[in-house]
Structure 1
Amino acid sequence: MVDGRVGLRALTPYLNRYRGTLTVVAVLSLAAAGAALLQPLLVRRVLDGVTASRPIAGPVSVLVSLLLIGAALRGFRDYLLQRTAEGVVLTTRRRLARHLLMLPIAEYDHRRTGDLLSRVGADTTLLRAVVTSGLFEIVTGVVMVGGALIAMAVLDPLLLAVAVAALAVGLSVAMLASRRVRGLSEQAQARLGEMTSAVERAISAARTIRAGRAEEREAATVAEGAEQAYAAGVRLAKLEATVGPAADTAIQGAFLVVLGVGGARVASGAIGVGDLVAFILFLFFLAMPLGQALHAYTQLQTGLGALQRIEEMLALPAEKAGDSTRTPEASGTTTPAVTFDGVSFAYPGEGLVLHDVSFEVPRGSRIALVGPSGAGKSTILALIERFYDVTGGTVRVGGHDVRDLPRDALRAQLGYVEQEAPVLAGTLRDNLLLTAPHATDAELIAALEEVNLGGLAERSPEGLGVQVGEGGVLLSGGERQRLAIARALLTGAPILLLDEPTSNLDARNEAALRAAIATAAERRTLIVVAHRLSTVVDSDRIVVVEDGRVVAAGPHHELLDASPLYRELATHQLLVS
């Protein structure tokens, strides 16, 4: 986590690559400010010329030229700023999205998806205002204010003192209020993230919610989140509404005071009409940048609040590539494909879920993990993939401690199908290419046929380009599971991990998939988690897990006699009488 609040220095990494463009923007801003500051002096010269009946064509031409040049400079500057701001947002989104995808699996277990989406979307968008309405308006405002103060001091020091006093009263109130903007902005963004999480939850479970007639309850949950976001937004709006009128009142008051005092000084002959008009124009160039700078400061605080949330995510440590850069050496056929040696494991903040688990998976064998729900079977597969590191003991793949292997090298040896295997929105081809980006269409179709899914590409003229819908909604549960298995087969990994591969299959497709798994077992090492014992009775070895412990291991016929738990499971599933 980020210690304390981020400051302007935290923006440096986001702006470094645009230093050249920002330098040009700074030069254009200074040039535009200079052109603006010359205009009151030219107006005074025009007025003095009219009063003295002198030719004014020259000063008027220069004044018009300065107006046009200033407009062109500001237009080009604003374009560069907008383009830079979009570049900052793009770079930040790329960096943040990549970092989120590289976080340890444990981070996803206790973070809400909607909040993560809000940080990538809404929070990064607020950075645009930091560039376009923040830093450079403040910098340009300083230049304008400085130039105007010098010119006003030369024209009439007394009027300057009167104007500054009038401005100071209102702007001080606005500054005090704007200091609270950042905290309220952070709260508003947090509430927005919570509301997005509620919407994401409701949409992802739309069918379950509709079937359970829970629409109104879920709508109320989303509405509550929306109301909290609304309340936070209103608090922020109230504060911002204080800043704007206070600044406007200060500016208007200053103009009125200057007009009154300046009119009296013109009447007394202390200054001329041209001097008063020029002074008022300089006052405008003083007050306008102050108001803009105050607004920019408010925008900057809002952007820094969003940056705080972004930096909090980026500060989370990414999953390490591995503690070693060496690639695993080829092992002999006698080396077990997978070994668990006295493994204990606890999820963060919880008690042990695995206790001194030990077993071996010979290369080329088919091993099944069975036992009651919650026994720790899926956790065993997660430790092989090194989604988590063991609390105690050692997990070896190919004779190597998984902690000594780069994660990419480890996972290149593993094909993994999780229990609720996700299907990505897009086409059938997109899903298959996820694990094998260079596979040909022929290879993709062969993988589908291997899991009895060859007809899926023939349903539509698009073939492999047929859409599968959000989360695979256009497929049946069994088709989604088999598509995930085909995806794993395409990796060509020598070790295949299947977590409940037949949980969503009917009897016909289960038999077909069992045949496909048997075929795959001829070329791979298989570790299968199963509740249906009928799918694993022909495994080389069955490991029985209960309460995080291995309580028995052996082939089906031996376990029926040696393991009361296994015999109970088999009896309940009508495998024995």
Structure 2
Amino acid sequence: MATLLPYLREHRGTLLVVAAVSLVGAAAALAQPLLVGRVITAVEAGDAVAPVVAVLVGVLLGASLLGAVQQYLLQRTAEGVVLSTRRSLVARVLRLPLAELDQRRTGDLVSRVGSDTTLLRAVVTSGLVEVVSSVVVVVGAVVAMAVVDVVLLAVTLTAVAVGMTAAISVARRLRALALASQQRVGEMSSAVERALSAVRTIRASGATDREVDAVGASARAAYDAGVRAARTGAVVSPVVGVAVQGSFIAVLGVGGYRVAGGALTVAELVSFILFLFLLVMPLGQLVSAFAQLQLGLGALTRIEEVLRLPEEDPGPVSAPAGRAGAPLLELRDVSFTYPDGTRVLDRVSLAVPRGARTALVGPSGAGKSTLLSLVERFSDVTGGAVLVDGVDVRELPRAALRARLGYVEQEAPVLAGTLRENLVLAAPDAGDDELAAVLAAVGLTGVATRSPAGLDAPVGEGGVLLSGGERQRLAISRSLLARPELLLLDEPTASLDARNERALQDALDAVAERTTLLVVAHRLSTVVGSDQIVVLDGGRVVGVGTHAELLETTPLYRELAATQLLV
């Protein structure tokens, strides 16, 4: 329960109103048996009953109206709890360190934001606030029943206590079952996300039926877990029902005997029975609320697991001044080792002068892409230092560092949406003229003009409506639009044909006049004109120089050039 309170705190004003309404409603409910008793007494005495009936009808209508108001406020509060929880979850997920995200399945995270948060709605609407009014009604009913007849009260409490104890013991099991059910739902969502993200490959491989079976198996596991929770939850209501029916039968039997003996009047017995209903109904609500709370706490466990994860460290608030004359980017004895002990970079040192074009080349697995990730601080070095203007990047605010960098990944993602939405991701204030200019620079003008929607043409999920080369160039244009001081390019021409590669090279030549470039390349033809080429092998620098110099001094580079017919 204490875990849930922070989620309700921002809605405490509304919840206090609901609690007040609930208390008034509880008072109205407690008044009804007394008014019914007065009506019966008036009929027996031959007195006028119209005034009492009018008051009774007014109380009934007022209680109904208050109930409607209470339910609306509870539903709205529940939606607010879900909204704030989803916002917090999304904010945390999008700020998690990349190393943490790499270890988690996207579908499971989506499930936590979607289905897990939805269960919190039931926790609020099932009666967390109603607990207040229910307790008031229960206490009031017990006091009134004690006034009417202590013997009947003892009979009632004995029957109710047995049933409620059994119901609560069953409801306690729901939390673990609900947690298991939500975990299975998360695994199913991950299986669906995995299949959809590679649907073309799956179909081309003739694996559609196998994937359908795999996702179906995940769905079946979620179903089985849900059925186990439902089976346990289904026991709660019958147990409560038995307690209610048992207490009612016992009161009728004992009460009838006491009326026959003159110890109790008919009006008192009727009032007692009505108070009995007022007692058992809120008790049933309390048990139901407890059961729903167990379901919600199961989901809350998964939500809290993500919210407890630390966000990516934003870095210092302010940045120290750069050192005059220092290279724009420098790596000093940089090493990087994954948590499993795999070393990717080993004492790498290099300098990227301002305004120069530097290329990183080498065989696959040499550590080229990892080096770019360290510059962006997606991960931090495990040895040595990365410096920008002579300042260790760990002393710079991450946002300030990344604002100076442009980064195009090897598998450059295109976001679902339009061309415009993709382009302005890093430059939200860019105008149409700027967008058109940057598209022209990378040879994408035709993409913007082939649809009547122009820049507002959709690109499809993951850019599926674009070719591979168009997706790569769109990612490059997106980075260029932000005018970075240093542009990091990881295999920018990997998906381009010869014609578009030439067009992109021309664009990069123009960009290089005002922006420092650090380019990872497998095709040496794209970097032979670089100011310096750094050759990596096995996480170490084995050569630095121009194309001509490396042909003379570095056997690995000479081998790479020979295989690509550049010598």
Indicate the TM-score class for this superposition, using the shorter chain for normalisation. over 0.9
Instruction: Determine if the alignment matches structure 1 residue 360 to structure 2 residue 351.
Output: yes
Q: Secondary structure at the match of 1:10?
A: coil
Query: Equivalent residue for 1:545?
Result: 536
CA offsets 1:486-543 (integer angstroms, 9 cap, x no match): 0000111110000010011011000100111111111111000111111111111111
Q: CA shift at 1:67, angstroms?
A: 0.4
Query: Equivalent residue for 2:494?
Result: 503
Q: Secondary structure at the match of 2:339?
A: coil
- Residue pair 1:415, 1:491 contacting (<8 A) in 2 also: yes
What does 1:316-395 align with in structure 2 at a 5 Å threshold? 316-322=309-315, 324-327=316-319, 329=321, 332=324, 334-395=325-386
Q: Secondary structure at the match of 2:67?
A: helix
What does 1:288-307 align with in structure 2 at a 5 Å threshold? 288-307=281-300
- Residue pair 2:360, 2:536 contacting (<8 A) in 1 also: yes
Instruction: Determine if the alignment matches structure 1 residue 95 to structure 2 residue 95.
Output: no
CA offsets 1:122-159 (integer angstroms, 9 cap, x no match): 11111112211141132222111111101111111111
Q: Counterparts of 2:363 and 2:127 in 1: how far apart (Å)?
A: 59
Amino acid at match of 2:449: E
Which of 433, 446, 456 matches 1:465? 456
Query: Equivalent residue for 1:555?
Result: 546
What does 1:241-256 align with in structure 2 at a 5 Å threshold? 241-256=234-249
- Residue pair 2:414, 2:463 contacting (<8 A) in 1 also: yes
Which of 476, 480, 495 matches 1:485? 476
Instruction: Determine if the alignment matches structure 1 residue 278 to structure 2 residue 294.
Output: no
Query: Equivalent residue for 1:170?
Result: 163
Query: Equivalent residue for 1:3?
Result: none
Q: Counterparts of 1:498 and 1:226 in 2: how far apart (Å)?
A: 41
- Residue pair 1:502, 1:510 contacting (<8 A) in 2 also: yes
Which of 250, 255, 274 matches 1:257? 250
Q: Counterparts of 2:163 and 2:564 in 1: how far apart (Å)?
A: 80
Q: Counterparts of 2:449 and 2:533 in 1: how far apart (Å)?
A: 38
Query: Equivalent residue for 1:51?
Result: 44
Query: Equivalent residue for 1:525?
Result: 516
- Residue pair 1:344, 1:357 contacting (<8 A) in 2 also: yes
Query: Equivalent residue for 1:415?
Result: 406
| More off after superposition, 57-66 vs 132-141 | 132-141
Instruction: Determine if the alignment matches structure 1 residue 179 to structure 2 residue 201.
Output: no
Q: Secondary structure at the match of 1:103?
A: coil
Q: CA shift at 1:12, angstroms?
A: 2.6
Q: CA shift at 1:13, angstroms?
A: 2.2
CA offsets 1:44-99 (integer angstroms, 9 cap, x no match): 11111112211111110111000000011111111111111111111111111111
Query: Equivalent residue for 2:428?
Result: 437
CA offsets 1:383-430 (integer angstroms, 9 cap, x no match): 000001110100001211000000011011100001111101111000
Amino acid at match of 1:521: A
Q: CA shift at 1:350, angstroms?
A: 3.3
Q: Counterparts of 1:139 and 1:300 in 2: how far apart (Å)?
A: 15
Q: Counterparts of 1:570 and 1:214 in 2: how far apart (Å)?
A: 39
Query: Equivalent residue for 2:195?
Result: 202
Unaligned runs of 5+ in 2: none
| More off after superposition, 557-566 vs 297-306 | 557-566
Instruction: Determine if the alignment matches structure 1 residue 117 to structure 2 residue 133.
Output: no
Unaligned runs of 5+ in 1: 1-7
Q: Counterparts of 1:139 and 1:212 in 2: how far apart (Å)?
A: 60
Which of 4, 11, 14 matches 1:18? 11
- Residue pair 1:209, 1:215 contacting (<8 A) in 2 also: yes
CA offsets 1:435-474 (integer angstroms, 9 cap, x no match): 1000001101111011011111101111101010000000
Q: How many residue pairs align between the two structures?
A: 567
- Residue pair 1:545, 1:551 contacting (<8 A) in 2 also: yes
TM-score normalized by the length of structure 2: 0.98
Instruction: Determine if the alignment matches structure 1 residue 75 to structure 2 residue 58.
Output: no
Q: CA shift at 1:331, angstroms?
A: 5.2
Query: Equivalent residue for 1:575?
Result: 566
Q: Counterparts of 2:235 and 2:229 in 1: how far apart (Å)?
A: 10
Amino acid at match of 2:330: T
- Residue pair 2:23, 2:132 contacting (<8 A) in 1 also: no
- Residue pair 1:44, 1:275 contacting (<8 A) in 2 also: yes
- Residue pair 2:127, 2:285 contacting (<8 A) in 1 also: no
Q: Counterparts of 2:342 and 2:136 in 1: how far apart (Å)?
A: 62
Instruction: Determine if the alignment matches structure 1 residue 192 to structure 2 residue 181.
Output: no
Which of 135, 138, 147 matches 2:131? 138
Q: Counterparts of 2:563 and 2:252 in 1: how far apart (Å)?
A: 96
| More off after superposition, 468-477 vs 537-546 | 537-546
Q: CA shift at 1:329, angstroms?
A: 3.1
Query: Equivalent residue for 2:97?
Result: 104
- Residue pair 1:134, 1:300 contacting (<8 A) in 2 also: no
Q: CA shift at 1:328, angstroms?
A: 5.1
Identity over aligned pairs, percent: 62
CA offsets 1:263-285 (integer angstroms, 9 cap, x no match): 11111211111111111111111
Q: Counterparts of 1:559 and 1:71 in 2: how far apart (Å)?
A: 87
- Residue pair 2:159, 2:246 contacting (<8 A) in 1 also: yes
Q: CA shift at 1:330, angstroms?
A: 5.4
Amino acid at match of 2:321: E
Amino acid at match of 1:559: L
Q: Counterparts of 1:218 and 1:134 in 2: how far apart (Å)?
A: 42
Q: Counterparts of 2:341 and 2:428 in 1: how far apart (Å)?
A: 38
Query: Equivalent residue for 1:214?
Result: 207
Q: Counterparts of 2:564 and 2:217 in 1: how far apart (Å)?
A: 46
- Residue pair 1:481, 1:504 contacting (<8 A) in 2 also: yes
Amino acid at match of 2:495: N
Which of 277, 280, 284 matches 1:287? 280
Instruction: Determine if the alignment matches structure 1 residue 230 to structure 2 residue 223.
Output: yes
Amino acid at match of 2:47: R
Q: CA shift at 1:325, angstroms?
A: 2.0
Q: Counterparts of 2:319 and 2:335 in 1: how far apart (Å)?
A: 26
Query: Equivalent residue for 2:308?
Result: 315
| More off after superposition, 215-224 vs 191-200 | 215-224
Amino acid at match of 2:424: L
Amino acid at match of 2:123: V
Instruction: Determine if the alignment matches structure 1 residue 268 to structure 2 residue 261.
Output: yes
Instruction: Determine if the alignment matches structure 1 residue 64 to structure 2 residue 65.
Output: no
TM-score normalized by the length of structure 1: 0.97
Q: Secondary structure at the match of 1:359?
A: strand
Amino acid at match of 1:346: T
Query: Equivalent residue for 1:4?
Result: none
